[in-house]
Structure 1
Amino acid sequence: MIRLDNLTKVFDTPKGAVVAADHINMEVPRGEICILLGPSGCGKTTTLKMINRIIRATSGKVFLDGEDTTGMNTQDLRRSIGYVIQQIGLFPNMTIEENITVVPRLLGWDRTAYKKRARELMDMIAMDAEAFLKRYPSELSGGQQQRIGVARALAADPPVMLMDEPFGAIDPINRAVIQDEFLKMQAELKKTIMFVSHDIDEAIKMGDRIAIFREGKLVQYSAPDDLLSAPRNGFVESFLGEDRALKRLNLVKVREVFSDEMGSVKPDDTLETALSRIDDFGYQNAILMVNDRGEPAGMITRSVARTTRGYCRDHYQTAPPVAQLDDDLRKVASLMFANDTTWLPCVDARGRVCGHITQRAMTHHLGSRYRSRPEDSAPLRSQPETKE
């Protein structure tokens, strides 16, 4: 959907020519999010802004959906691309509705159509249309304004969106919420997005592909898992940080690692039965007790089962936390550490026990990727190797 062909920008300065973007070659498939990462001044924002000609390229071409944009009218090009920036850029003298519908009105949409679109987008960004559409930007919080900025970029339903650190100025709690909401929207809308960020964790969470820049050059362009497991050189490895193995926890879901083998007992089972099943299935010398609906109801420990007579319903401890199948391993690891355990029961969408996950299984899964590193995590098109 987006293809950059030897895209280059050279700035003339009093001290001579400065190459801000050096023959960038990239392809972003339709419906994917590509995150541009790198230190300040590395060329990522320059590359982004050349796509909609906020900065004009010195040489090279930009293709959108296979069409060379070189001959396109600049205003038409910009109106066909959604654009979100960190400073948001809402017009202070316009209502929220007027801000959202700027581009549809410029494109000549019917009044009924653009008003309807504004309400649809307010629902999409989880803001009450009745409460907010007639307000002005100064009456909204920073996080709310940022959501409106995203809605405005989506108003004319552009196939391509450019986002320049759109969540960078928002506090961590609201940023995580907005990121989650944006990913939910993206799952439905399937826009093709290029997204500048300084936050590696944000890039791993948000991106289908990540491009690492250095001194105007594209150093590595890979899927997040390939990037973390096989950094191309020392610069990429140091940029990702020494905890890059832990960062991969964000990328793996419980359903990829858990085992569907799970021993359990019912409240009416005897402690003798519990002891037998602990020998067969127990983790940390205990067995899970489930109710008639298959939901976690408690734990029976080996010490209790071995020294006490009676039924499980009378001698259980509190059930451990559970892992949902769509949880990522970072959340699971956090639960394990917080509860001093090396395993958790797993539940399905209805809360029924469907297996278990262990620390050992997580470690093995992550380590297996390093033991079978891809030979090459090069970009989709050939890119000159960056020398250290």
Structure 2
Amino acid sequence: MIRLDSLTKVFDTQKGAVVAADHINMEVPSGEICILLGPSGCGKTTTLKMINRIVRPTSGKVFIDGEDTTGMDTQTLRRNIGYVIQQIGLFPNMTIEENITAVPRLLGWDKAKYRERARELMAMIALEPDAFLKRYPSELSGGQQQRIGVARALAADPPVMLMDEPFGAIDPINRAVIQDEFLKMQQALKKTIMFVSHDIDEAIKMGDRIAVFREGKLVQYSSPDDLLADPKDSFVESFLGSDRALKRLNLVKAREIATRDIGTVSPEDSLEKALAMSDDFGYETAILMVNDQQQPAGMVMRSVAQTTKGYCRDHFQNVPAMVGLDDDLRTVASLMLAHDITWLPCIDDQGRVCGQVTQRALTHHLGSRFRAQQGNPMSTAPISEE
């Protein structure tokens, strides 16, 4: 959807020519988010702004959906590209509805159509249309204004969006919420997005691909997982940080390391059977008890089963934690640490036990990509999608 062909920008200054972007070549497939990442002054924002011609390239070309934009009228180009900036840039003298519908009105949309589009977008960004559309930007919080900025960029349903540190000025809690909402929207909208960030954690969370810049040059262009597992050089490695293996926790879902091999007992089983099952499956502290629907009903402690006679239904504790198949490994690791446990039951969308995640599997998977880069690949046995 977006292709940059030797895109270059040279600024003339009093001290001479400064190359801000040096022959940038990259492609962003349709429906993906590409994060432009790097330290201040590395050329990422200049590259972004050359796409909608806020900064005019010195040389090179920008192609959108296969079309060379060099000869395209600037206003036409910009009206077909959504643009979101950190400073938001809402018009203070316009209502929220007028801000959102600015481009559709310029394009000559019917009034009923653009008003309905505004309501649709407000619902999409989780703001009540009746409560907010007639307000002015000054009446909204910074986080709410940022959501309106995103809605305005989406108003004319552009195929391409450019986002220049759009969530950088928002506090961490609201920032995480808006990021999550935006990713949910993206799953449905499938826009092609170029997104400038200086935050590696944001890049890993938001991006399908990450482009790392340094001094005007594109140093590495990879998926987040490939970037973390195999940085191209010492600069990229240092920029990612010494904890890059831990950053992969956000990228891997529990289903990728969960196994179906899990021992359970029913409420009607004896404690003697619970102890035997614990031995069979190597559980040192407890075994999971499930009900008739195969849903977690409690934990039978090994110490109780060793010293007491009776049935599981009379001697169990609450399950300390569970994970869903689509929870990421950061969630898994946090729960294990919080409850001082080395395994967790995995449940499906109906709350039924479908496997388990172990601490051993988690650490094995995290290290597997790094071992593979060193020529020692090892495999895991994830739950299938069936």
TM-score past 0.5 threshold = yes
> Which whole-Å CA distance do the structure 1 matches of 2:317 and 2:15 have between them?
73
Which residue number in structure 2 is paired with residue 326 of structure 1?
A: 326
CA positional deviation for 1:372: 1.6
State the alpha-carbon separation in 2 of the partners of residues 374 and 275 from structure 1: 42
- Counterpart check, 1:227 vs 2:227: yes
Q: Distance in 2 between matches of 1:72 and 1:108?
A: 20
Aligned equivalent of 1:101: 101
The answer on 1:310 being equivalent to 2:310 is yes
For 2:284, give the aligned amino acid: Q
In structure 2, distance between residues paired with 1:197 and 1:24:
17
Kindly state the Cα deviation for residue 293 of structure 1 after the two structures are TM-superposed. 2.2
Q: CA deviation at 1:374?
A: 9.3
Give the AA of the match of 2:97: E
Q: Which residue of 2 aligns with 1:249?
A: 249
Q: Distance in 2 between matches of 1:313 and 1:127?
A: 47
Residue 195 of structure 2 is matched in structure 1 by 195
3-state DSSP class of the match of 1:70?
coil
Q: Tell me how far apart the structure 2 counterparts of residues 345 and 284 of structure 1 sit (CA, whole Å).
A: 15
Map 1:151-300 to 2 at 5 A.
Answer: 151-300=151-300
Alignment of 1:103-122 (within 5 A): 103-122=103-122
- Contact 2:10-2:17 within 8 A present in 1 as well: yes
CA shift, 1:249, in A, is 0.6
Superposed displacement of residue 343, structure 1: 0.8
Corresponding position of 1:77: 77
Q: 1:125 is matched with which residue?
A: 125
Q: Is the 8 A contact 1:230 1:374 kept in 2?
A: no
Cα distance in 1 for residues equivalent to 2:309 and 2:163: 64
Structure 2 residue identity aligned to 1:344: L
TM-superposition CA deviations, 1:133-168 (whole Å, max 9, x none): 000001111111000000000000000000000000
Mapped to 2, the partners of 1:41 and 1:283 lie a distance apart of: 54
- The equivalent of 1:26 in structure 2 is 26
Alignment partners' CA distance in 2, 1:359 and 1:233: 31
Compute the TM-score of the two structures, normalised by the length of structure 1: 0.95
For 1:33-64, what per-residue CA distance to the aligned partner results, in whole angstroms no more than 9, with x for missing partners?
00000000000000000000000000000000
Aligned to 2:378: none
Does residue 341 of structure 1 match 2:341?
Answer: yes
Question: Secondary structure of the residue that 2:70 maps to in structure 1?
Answer: helix
Matches of 1:101 and 1:50 in 2, distance apart? 25
Structure 1 equivalent of residue 42 of structure 2:
42
Cα shift at 1:292: 2.2
The alignment partner of 2:299 has SS state of: strand
Unpaired runs of at least 5, structure 1: 376-388
Of 56-65 and 262-271, more deviation after overlay is shown by: 262-271
Q: Is the 8 A contact 1:278 1:286 kept in 2?
A: yes
1:63-111: CA deviations, max 9, x gaps? 0000000000001000000000000000000000000000000000010
How far apart are residue 169 of structure 1 and its match?
A: 0.6
| Higher alpha-carbon deviation: 305-314 or 36-45 | 305-314
Structure-2 separation of matches of 1:114 and 1:273: 66
| CA-CA distance at 1:363 after TM superposition | 1.1
Q: Match for residue 383 of structure 1?
A: none
What's 1:91 paired with?
91
* CA distance, structure 2, for counterparts of residue 168 and residue 212 of structure 1: 18
Count of residue pairs the alignment pairs up: 375
Spell out structure 1 runs of 4+ moving beyond 4 A. Answer: none
Aligned to 2:384: none
The amino acid across from 2:189 in the alignment is L
**Are the aligned partners of 1:165 and 1:196 in contact in 2 as well (CA < 8 Å)?**
yes
Work out the percentage of aligned pairs sharing the same amino acid: 80
Structure 1 residue matching 2:78: 3-state secondary structure: helix
Q: Report the counterpart of residue 381 of structure 1 in structure 2.
A: none
Is contact 1:263-1:282 (8 Å) kept?
no
Other-structure match for 2:2: 2
Aligned to 2:373: 373
- SS of the residue aligned with 2:219? strand
CA distance in 1: counterparts of 2:224 and 2:295, whole angstroms? 35
Cα deviation for residue 298 of structure 1 reads 1.3
| Matches of 2:218 and 2:299, distance apart in 1 | 53
Question: Which amino acid counterpart does residue 88 of structure 1 have in structure 2?
Answer: I
TM-score (norm 2): 0.96
Which 5+ residue runs of structure 2 have no aligned equivalent?
Answer: 376-386
**Aligned-CA RMSD value:** 1.0
Instruction: Verify the 8 A CA contact 2:278 2:284 in the aligned structure 1.
Output: no
1:197, CA displacement in angstroms? 0.5
Deviation at 1:306, TM superposition (A): 1.3
Q: Give the Cα separation in 1 of the matches to 2:286 and 2:124.
A: 45
- TM superposition shift of 1:115: 0.5
Q: Distance in 1 between matches of 2:138 and 2:299?
A: 53
Shift of 1:320: 2.3
Distance 2:358 2:109 in 1: 56
Alpha-carbon separation, structure 1, partners of 2:202 and 2:166? 11
User: Does the CA contact (< 8 Å) of 2:299 and 2:318 recur in 1?
Assistant: yes
- AA of the residue aligned to 2:220: Q
Residue 294 of structure 1: how far off its partner (Å): 1.7
Q: Tell me the distance in 2 between the aligned counterparts of 1:8 and 1:343.
A: 52
